[in-house]
Structures are given as structure tokens and as C-alpha cells.
Amino acid sequence: MSPVPRDSLFGERIVWAGRPAVIRPSAFQRSLAFVAFLGAGITLCFALVVGLVLHAPAGTLLLFAFWCSGLGLGILQVPRLLLARARYMVTDHHVIVMYGPLRRTIERKAISFARIYWDERQPDTGDVELVRAVPTGALKRRLMLRLIGVQAPDRVWAIVRGAEQLAPRGAADQPLTQRLDVDEHVVWSAHPRQEFRRFLPKGQREWGMIAIALFLLAGAGRMASGAYPALRQVHAGGVPIQSLTFAVLAFGVGSTILLLIGIAGYLVYEAIIRSGYLVAYTRYLVTNKRVLIQRRLEELHLDRAKILDVIDSPKGDGLHDVFMVLDGPRARAAAASGAFGELPRGPHLRPVFEAVEDAEGVSRILRESPKLPHAA
């Protein structure tokens, strides 16, 4: 009889082990790499103009261009190297992520909820983000553990929550209602009402991003207003418009302006447009066991047993925000240090039903004791 595999640190039985099925940088990392490479190209253009036209030393500009290129390559390659060495394990009591000698862990019973991010290119793979949100107030902190690029992420989450015998194997192209546990059924569902106010900034994060975007747009406008007179002076100084030097200079100036506008546009999209746009794709589900929130390729899974109480916050026009007060080890929500969901609006799903009409009905359901899963 072969011995049961055990983790070397905790000595616990390993119930699941895996590694990333998809090894590539995220879309955000690829965007950062593009910005770094574009910055290298712009700097190189200015270095050529300084060296060829002004006959001045351009070593500093060339060094900065080289640094930008190295930064872009690092952003693309370092995640690949880390994911190639990544190993994931689920033991009797812990979830473990290892990147070579680096190890991070989280207790299974301490997980508040999980987010699943499906891969748009491969519908049967994605990321599993395990969140422990405790406590609130001055001591608020969060522990998040992310299993990147795993095969069948909803199945991995089922193993973590101890329901691997009940959860079917699914993919992003299947409706969420077809991926419920075998003993699970929907008792309430809703969509947030679409309203203009969803595009208004909420919280310090959004206002900060808008302030940065306005600063970048002001810089781009100032640069654009001075670009034409500067190019005219260069032409008057003896550089023909048809020359390669003039084209390189114009390309560098124009690319810089477009880069500033592009970054500002991204910040405005993240702060205002994205959250409001995705409301149309958001769906709330309450089953006899769990709370499920779906927004395109992102899902939030929360066991109802983790919900200690519900806070109904009216927001006008007959709409309410329903906040779920979470509970967990060393995070009693009834105590002064209780565990609430993340209140400020962020880029990811959180355990809140926003802009719903039947707040009284869903609050009553969530305060009831959920049906416990069958023993595996």
C-alpha cells in the first residue's frame, strides 16, 4: 500500500495538487509592457534627434531607453518564470501556493469567499482568488491567495470548500445555474437596476484616478499646443520636413502625446465606465447553500454559512444596497472588530447586492439558516 502524500510543513494529507495550465502574463501586465516598450521607442527617437541634429551627448537618453526595454521584457518574462515553477496544493486544512522556495498559505476554514476569473481564450481554465476579509475598522486587512491559470477553477474551489463530490465540472461557456452542486437550487435571483448614477465615481480610488487622468490630459494638451511651433522652429533651423530626422522627431512627440491620452483614457475607463458598463452583465443568485454573483467572466462564490447578518442600505428610487456581514475564525462580526465585506467600490466583485428592488425579500432569505451540504 503506497503512503498517503503529505505536506512537508504542516504534515497534512494532500487532497489535491496542481500547477498552472496557462502560463502567460495577464492583460494588465501586457499593457504595462507595451507602455514600457513605447516609452523606449519614444526615448530612442529623441536620442537620435539630440545626437544627429544638436550633436549633443545622448548617452543618458539611450540608457533610459535600454532601461525601459529591460523593464518591458521583465514584465513579460518574470510572470512566466514564476508560473512555470508554481505549485498549488490543498491539504486537509490549508491551501498552499508555492513559487519555488516561496510559500503562501491560507486556512480553508478561514476563507471568507472566493472569486473565479475565467480565461477568455480557454473557457475551461482561469484563476481562483481566495479571500479572507477580517476585520473591519482600524485593523481591517485582507489575506488573498490566488491560484493562477488552473484547470477547471470552479472544481478547484469545490475541493477547497469540501464539496468535490457534489460540484459538477464546468466551464465559462456554461451558465452559472448549470454548474450548481447536485443538491443545490436557486431560491432568489435579480439583476442590479441600470441607472445613470452607476457611472458616478465612488470612493477615494475613483476620484484619485480621475485626478491623475485630468493631470495627464492637461500635460498632453500643453504638449500638443507647443508641438507645432516647436516643429516649425526645427524646420526653420534647417531640418527638411521630408527628412528622416524630422519624421523621427515628429513621431516621438506625437507618440508621447498619444501615450498620455491613452493612459488617461484607461484611468477614466477604470474609474467610471467599466463599473457602470458591467452592471448590465451582473447577476445575483441566492441558492439554498450559497450566494453567487456573476459578471461576465468573473464570479463570486460565498457560502451562506459565512453570513452572520445583512445590512439593508436604501439609496433612493426604491433601490437598496444589501451588504453581507461575514463571519469567520477570530473575526466575529458581532464583536467590535467584526468582519464586513469590502465597502469601497473596487474593480472586482464584492459580497454586496447593489441597486436591487427586493431587498426585504433577499434579506429575509439570507438571515435564514442555509441548507447544509450532504456529507461527502
Q: What pLDDT score was predicted for residue 289?
A: 92
Q: Domain coordinates of the chain in residue numbers?
A: 27-84, 161-376
Going from the first residue of the chain to its last (376 residues), give the mean pLDDT of each consecutive group of 10, the final group possibly shorter: 61 88 87 92 87 80 92 92 91 90 88 91 90 59 83 91 77 80 90 76 82 93 86 78 83 90 90 80 92 92 89 84 78 49 63 88 87 50
Identify the CA nearest to 328 among candidates 336, 319, 342, 339: 339
Q: Would you state the pLDDT for residue 331?
A: 58
**In this structure, are residues 290 and 302 in contact, taking their beta carbons and an 8 Å threshold?**
yes
User: Up-side HSE of residue 337: CA atoms within 13 Å toward CB?
Assistant: 12
Q: Grid coordinates standing for 22? A: 496557462
Give the per-residue pLDDT at 346: 62
Give residue 178's pLDDT.
85
All cell numbers assigned to 259: 501615450
Rounded CA separation 352/311 (Å): 10
Residue 167 CA to residue 159 CA, distance in Å, equals 9
Q: What is the side-by-side strand order in the sheet with 94-99?
A: 14-18, 86-91, 94-99, 102-107
**What single-letter DSSP state applies at residue 311?**
E
**pLDDT value for 90:** 93
Report the C-alpha gap between 363 and 117 in whole angstroms: 27
Phi, psi at residue 340, to the nearest 5°? -105, 165
pTM here is 0.81
C-beta atoms surrounding 304 within 10 Å: 20
Q: Identify the bridge partners of residue 181 per DSSP, sorted by sequence position.
A: none
Report the alpha-carbon distance of residue 312 to residue 323 in Å, rounded. 6
pLDDT given for residue 135 in this prediction: 53
Inter-residue contact 18 to 100 (CB < 8 Å): no
